[in-house]
Structure 1
Amino acid sequence: MSTASPLARYGWDERFAPRTTDLVPGRVVRVDRSACEVVTGDGRRSARVRRGLEPCTGDWVGLAEDGLLAEVLPRRTALVRGSGGAPQVLAANVDVVAVVVSLSARLALGRVERLLALAWESGARPVVVLTKADLSADVADVADEVSAAAPGAPVVAVSATDGSGLDPLRAELFGGSGPAATAVLVGPSGAGKSTLANALLGTSALATGDVRASDGKGRHTTVRRELHALPGGGVLIDTPGLRAVGLHAADEGVRQAFAEVEELARSCRFADCAHVAEPGCAVLAAVDDGGLERRRVDSLHELRRESEWLASRTDPRLRAERRGAERAMSKAQRRMYRERGGWG
Structure 2
Amino acid sequence: MPDVIDQYGWSEELARAFAPHARAGRMPGRVVVQHRDGYVLVTEAGELRGKASGRLLQDAGEGGYPAVGDWVALTPDPADPTATIHAVLPRRTAFTRRAADSVRKLQVVAANIDVVFVVTSLNADLNHRRIERYLAAAWQSGARPVVVLTKSDLSADPQAEAAEVAALAAGCPVLVVSAREVVGLEALLAQVKAGETCVLIGSSGVGKSTLVNAFLGRTRMAVDAIREADDQGRHTTSHRELVLLPGGALILDTPGMREVGLVDADEGVSEAFDDIEQLARDCRFNDCTHGSEPGCAVRAALDSGALDPARWANFQKLGVELAAVEEKADRVARDAERRRLAALQKTYRATKRDHRGGAGE
The one-letter code of the counterpart of 1:25 is: P
Q: Distance in 2 between matches of 1:147 and 1:162?
A: 23
Once the two structures are overlaid, the 10-residue window that deviates more, 201-210 or 90-99, is 201-210
Matches within 5 A, 1:186-265: 186-240=201-255, 244-265=259-280
The SS at the match of 2:133 is helix
Q: Which residue of 2 aligns with 1:7?
A: 5
| 1:318 to 1:247, Cα distance in 2 relative to 1, 3 A | farther
Superposition RMSD in Å: 2.1
Q: Note if 1:95 corresponds to 2:114.
A: yes
Deviation at residue 298 of structure 1 after TM alignment = 0.7
Once the two structures are overlaid, the 10-residue window that deviates more, 284-293 or 238-247, is 238-247
Q: Note if 1:127 corresponds to 2:125.
A: no
1:22-72 Cα distance to aligned partner (Å, 9 max, x none): 111111011112411111123211001223151111011111133111111
Q: 2:289 aligns with which of 249, 271, 274?
A: 274
Deviation at residue 14 of structure 1 after TM alignment = 2.6
The SS at the match of 2:200 is strand
The one-letter code of the counterpart of 1:197 is: V
1:68-99 Cα distance to aligned partner (Å, 9 max, x none): 11111110000123465223322100011101
Question: Does the 8 Å contact 2:35/2:240 carry over to 1?
Answer: no
The one-letter code of the counterpart of 1:46 is: R
Q: Note if 1:115 corresponds to 2:134.
A: yes
Question: Does the 8 Å contact 1:82/1:310 carry over to 2?
Answer: no
Question: Does the 8 Å contact 2:29/2:41 carry over to 1?
Answer: yes
1:235-265 Cα distance to aligned partner (Å, 9 max, x none): 1101227655420110010000001111111
Matches within 5 A, 1:21-36: 21=22, 22-36=25-39
Matches within 5 A, 1:150-161: 150-161=169-180
Question: Does the 8 Å contact 1:246/1:307 carry over to 2?
Answer: no
Deviation at residue 204 of structure 1 after TM alignment = 1.5
Question: Does the 8 Å contact 2:67/2:110 carry over to 1?
Answer: yes
The SS at the match of 1:296 is helix
Q: 1:61 aligns with which of 59, 67, 72?
A: 72
The one-letter code of the counterpart of 2:289 is: A
Q: Which residue of 1 aligns with 2:161?
A: 142
The SS at the match of 1:279 is coil
Q: Distance in 2 between matches of 1:182 and 1:224?
A: 17
Q: 1:74 aligns with which of 80, 86, 90?
A: 90
The SS at the match of 1:262 is helix
Question: Does the 8 Å contact 1:187/1:241 carry over to 2?
Answer: no
Q: 1:39 aligns with which of 39, 42, 49?
A: 42
Deviation at residue 214 of structure 1 after TM alignment = 2.5
Question: Does the 8 Å contact 2:118/2:131 carry over to 1?
Answer: yes
Per the normalisation by structure 2, the TM-score is 0.82
Question: Does the 8 Å contact 1:188/1:242 carry over to 2?
Answer: no
Q: Distance in 1 between matches of 2:289 and 2:244?
A: 45
| 1:116 to 1:24, Cα distance in 2 relative to 1, 3 A | same
The one-letter code of the counterpart of 1:100 is: V
Q: Distance in 2 between matches of 1:204 and 1:98?
A: 20
Once the two structures are overlaid, the 10-residue window that deviates more, 214-223 or 108-117, is 214-223
The SS at the match of 2:298 is helix
Count of equivalent residues:
314
The one-letter code of the counterpart of 1:158 is: V
Q: Which residue of 1 aligns with 2:307?
A: 292
> Which of the pair has more CA radius of gyration?
2
Unpaired runs of at least 5, structure 1: 321-344
The SS at the match of 2:316 is helix
Per the normalisation by structure 1, the TM-score is 0.85
Deviation at residue 273 of structure 1 after TM alignment = 2.4
1:260-319 Cα distance to aligned partner (Å, 9 max, x none): 111111111122323344332101110100111011111111111112222333356998
| 1:87 to 1:307, Cα distance in 2 relative to 1, 3 A | farther
Once the two structures are overlaid, the 10-residue window that deviates more, 114-123 or 29-38, is 29-38
The one-letter code of the counterpart of 1:254 is: V
The percentage of counterpart residues that share the same residue type is 49
Q: Distance in 2 between matches of 1:62 and 1:98?
A: 29
Deviation at residue 125 of structure 1 after TM alignment = 0.5
1:9-29 Cα distance to aligned partner (Å, 9 max, x none): 111113223331111111101
| 1:42 to 1:245, Cα distance in 2 relative to 1, 3 A | closer
The SS at the match of 2:34 is strand
Q: Which residue of 2 aligns with 1:329?
A: none
The SS at the match of 1:20 is helix
